[in-house]
C-alpha cells in the first residue's frame, strides 16, 4: 500500500506546518496587545507638543519656523516609507510599497525627484532593488521600537528640508483601524499644515521662555516630527502583529481543511485496497 | 490642605509619571527651577538630571530621572516632555552620520537607475499571489 504511506507522510507534514502557524498566530496575538498599548502610550506626548506649538504660533505670529513655511516651487521631495522587518503578515507591506511606487511615479512624471528614508527590512530590500535614492534607513527595529533608533534617519530628512534640498516631506505607513483592518496611509509631514484654528483666548498671555523662544521652539519642532514618525512606526508595528495574526489564523484553517481532505483520500484508498483483497480471496475460494 | 499642582511626565514611548504635587524641582537648562502651584506659564529645555516631586501628605520626595527634554508650566499643570535618549548636538550629529553611512552601504548594491516598471511588476506579482491564495481558500471551503 505505497500510496497510503505517502499520504500518511503528507498528512504528518501538513500537521507539523499547522503546529507552526498556530504557534505563530498565538505569538502574534500576544505581541499585538503590547504593540497596541505602545501605540496608545505615544499619543499624549505628540498631542502636548502640538498644543504648545499651536499656542506658540498664535502668540508669535511674526516668527515662522522653517517647518511651517510652505514653499512655492517643489523640486524634490522626501518620502519616509514605514514597513515591517519580517514577512508573513499578509498584504501589509505590499500595500504600503504599492502606494509608495504609485506616488513616486506620479512625482517622477512631474519631474520631481524623490529621496527615500526606509524603516523596516522589507521596504529597504524593495527600494534597493527598485533603485530608489535612499538617504537613510532604520532596519531591524525589533518588537519594541525605540525612538533613539529613529533620531538619526529622521534628522537626515529634517536637515535636508532645512537646507532646501527637499521642499516637502511625506510619510507612508499602515494605519491601525482595527485588528482585521489596516490601511496604508499617505500623509504630509512637512511643511506642517496649519493646525485647526485654536480657540481664541480672551486675554493675551505668553510663556516665559528659557533660554530664548526660538531655540526652545526649534528643539520642540524636531521632537514633534520625531514623535509623529515614532507614532507611525508604533502604529505600523501594531498593524504588523495583527496582520500576521490574521494571516496565520487563515493558514492554520487552511492546513486543517487540507488535512481533512487528505484523510478522506487516505481512507478511501485504504478501503479500496481492503475490498480488492477480499474480492481476490473470495474469487480464489470459488475457483477451488 | 496645601495647594497642589498636577505633574505629568511623558516621553514619546510611554507615560512615566502622573500625579499631584505640592512642589516640583526640575533641572532646567539655565539652572534648577522650583515650581509651586500657580506658577506663571513657562517653557524651558531641561538638562539630564532628576526631577524632584514633593507629594502632598508625604514627607519624602519622589525622584525621577529624565534624560533631558522640555518643561512646560501652566498655573495648574506641569508637563515634562522627557526625551528617551540622551541628546546633544554632537550626539545627534553622530547619529546622522551613522544613518547616512548605513544608507550609503545600502545604496552600494542598488541596481542602476530607478526602475518603476520592474518595481510594479514585482508588486503585481505579489498581489497576484495573494489573490491566488484567496481564491484557493474559497475553493477549499
- pLDDT tier at B109 (50, 70, 90 boundaries)? low
Q: Is A46 on the interface with B (CB under 8 A)?
A: yes
Q: How far is A287 from chain B (nearest CA, A)?
A: 46
Least reliable range by pLDDT among A33-37, A60-64, B128-132: A60-64
Beta pairing, strands A113-119 & A133-138: parallel
Inspect the interface and report whether the beta carbons of A131 and B85 lie closer than 8 Å. no
Nearest CA to A103 out of A32, A184, A48, A179 is that of A184
ipTM: 0.75
On chain A, the residues whose CB falls within 8 A of the CB of B97 are: 152
Contact A141, A103 (CB under 8 A): no
Residue B118 clears pLDDT 90, i.e. is over it: no
| A90 to chain B, closest Cα gap in Å | 8
CB contact under 8 A, B45 and A219: yes
| pLDDT band, residue B111 (cuts 50/70/90) | low
A77, three cell numbers? 521631495
Query: Could you tell me the pTM of the whole model?
Result: 0.83
Write down the pLDDT at residue A47.
Answer: 82
Higher pLDDT, A204 or A233: A233
A-chain residues near B40 (CB < 8 A): 208
CATH of domain B5-88: 2.60.15.10
Q: Residue B84: which pLDDT band, with cuts at 50, 70 and 90?
A: confident
pLDDT, position B1? 59
User: Is residue A111 within 8 angstroms of chain B, CB to CB?
Assistant: no
Distance from the Cα of B59 to chain A's closest Cα (Å) equals 30
Higher pLDDT, A59 or A66: A66
Check pLDDT > 90 for residue A245.
yes
Residue A222's H or E segment, with its range, is helix A213-287
Is there a contact between B119 and A258 if contact means CB atoms under 8 Å apart? no
Please tell me the predicted confidence (pLDDT) of residue A248.
Answer: 93
Which residue, A67, A62, A71, is CA-closest to A49?
A67
| CA dist list (Å): B55 to B38, B71, B78 | 16, 19, 14
pLDDT for residue A202 is more than 60: no
Partner-chain contact B99 A223, CB within 8 Å: no
Report CB contact under 8 Å: B96, A215. Answer: no
pLDDT beyond 90 at A53: no
Q: Report, as an integer, the average pLDDT of A68-85.
A: 90
What are the domain boundaries of chain B? 5-88, 91-140
Instruction: Using an 8 Å CB-CB cutoff, list chain B residues near A207.
Output: 41-43, 72-73
Give every CB contact of residue B29 below 8 A, 6+ residues apart in sequence: A210, A211, B44, B45, B46, B47
Would you state the cell numbers that stand for residue A128, as one nine-digit string? 534597493
User: Considering only CB atoms, which chain B residues are within 8 Å of A215?
Assistant: 45
Task: Give the mean model confidence (pLDDT) for residues A117-121.
Answer: 92
Are B100 and A156 a contacting pair at CB < 8 A? yes
CA distance A181 to B78: 38
> Counting Cβ atoms within 10 Å, is residue B89 exposed (0-12), middle (13-18) or buried (19+)?
exposed
Q: Mean pLDDT over residues B5-30, rounded? A: 89
pLDDT at A198 over 60: no
Supply the mean pLDDT for chain A: 87
Predicted confidence at residue A197, as pLDDT, reads 43
Looking at the complex, report in whole angstroms how far the Cα of residue A138 sits from the nearest Cα belonging to chain B. 8
The alpha carbons of chain B give a radius of gyration, in whole angstroms, of 26
Test A261 with B122 for CB contact under 8 angstroms.
Answer: no
Contacts of B118 (CB under 8 A, 6+ apart): A129, A130
Interchain CB distance below 8 Å, A230 and B43: no
Residue A31 has pLDDT above 70, yes or no: yes
Q: Is the pLDDT of residue B140 over 70?
A: no
Nearest-angstrom CA–CA distance, A71 and A68: 10
CB pairs under 8 A between A and B: 174
Amino acid at each position: 500500500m505505497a500510496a497510503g504511506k505517502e499520504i500518511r507522510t503528507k498528512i504528518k507534514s501538513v500537521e507539523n506546518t499547522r503546529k507552526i502557524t498556530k504557534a505563530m498566530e498565538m505569538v502574534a496575538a500576544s505581541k499585538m496587545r503590547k504593540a497596541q498599548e505602545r501605540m496608545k502610550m505615544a499619543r499624549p506626548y505628540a498631542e502636548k507638543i502640538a498644543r504648545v506649538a499651536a499656542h506658540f504660533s498664535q502668540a508669535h505670529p511674526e516668527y515662522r519656523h522653517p517647518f511651517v513655511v510652505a514653499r512655492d516651487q517643489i523640486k524634490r521631495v522626501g518620502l519616509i516609507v514605514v514597513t515591517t522587518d519580517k514577512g508573513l503578515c499578509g498584504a501589509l507591506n505590499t500595500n504600503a510599497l504599492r502606494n509608495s511606487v504609485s506616488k513616486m511615479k506620479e512625482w517622477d512624471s512631474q519631474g520631481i525627484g524623490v529621496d527615500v528614508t526606509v524603516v523596516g527590512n522589507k521596504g529597504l530590500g524593495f527600494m534597493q532593488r527598485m533603485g530608489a535614492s535612499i538617504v537613510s534607513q532604520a532596519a531591524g527595529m525589533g518588537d519594541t521600537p525605540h525612538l533613539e533608533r529613529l533620531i538619526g534617519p529622521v534628522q537626515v530628512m529634517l536637515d535636508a528640508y532645512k537646507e532646501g534640498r527637499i521642499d516637502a516631506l511625506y510619510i507612508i505607513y499602515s494605519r491601525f483601524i482595527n485588528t482585521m483592518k489596516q490601511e496604508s496611509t499617505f500623509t504630509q509631514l512637512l511643511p506642517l499644515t496649519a493646525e485647526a484654528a485654536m480657540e481664541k483666548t480672551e486675554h493675551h498671555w505668553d510663556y516665559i521662555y528659557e533660554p530664548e523662544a526660538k531655540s526652545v521652539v526649534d528643539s520642540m519642532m524636531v521632537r514633534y516630527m520625531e514623535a509623529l514618525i515614532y507614532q507611525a512606526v508604533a502604529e505600523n508595528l501594531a498593524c504588523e502583529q495583527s496582520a500576521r495574526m490574521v494571516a496565520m489564523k487563515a493558514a492554520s484553517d487552511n492546513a486543517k481543511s487540507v488535512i481533512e481532505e487528505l484523510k478522506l483520500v487516505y481512507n478511501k484508498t485504504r478501503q479500496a485496497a481492503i475490498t480488492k483483497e477480499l474480492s481476490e480471496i473470495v474469487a480464489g475460494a470459488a475457483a477451488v | 490642605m496645601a495647594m497642589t499642582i498636577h505633574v505629568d511626565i511623558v516621553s514619546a514611548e510611554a507615560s512615566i509619571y502622573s500625579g499631584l504635587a505640592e512642589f516640583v524641582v526640575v533641572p532646567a537648562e539655565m539652572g534648577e527651577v522650583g515650581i509651586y502651584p500657580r506658577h506663571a506659564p513657562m517653557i524651558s529645555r531641561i538638562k539630564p538630571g532628576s526631577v524632584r516631586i514633593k507629594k502632598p501628605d508625604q514627607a519624602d520626595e519622589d525622584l525621577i530621572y529624565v534624560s533631558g527634554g522640555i518643561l512646560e508650566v501652566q498655573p495648574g499643570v506641569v508637563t515634562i516632555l522627557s526625551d528617551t535618549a540622551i541628546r546633544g548636538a554632537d550626539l545627534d550629529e553622530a547619529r546622522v552620520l551613522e544613518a547616512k553611512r548605513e544608507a550609503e552601504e545600502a545604496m552600494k548594491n542598488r541596481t542602476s537607475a530607478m526602475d518603476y516598471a520592474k518595481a510594479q511588476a514585482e508588486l503585481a506579482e505579489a498581489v497576484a499571489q495573494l489573490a491566488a491564495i484567496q481564491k484557493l481558500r474559497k475553493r477549499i471551503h
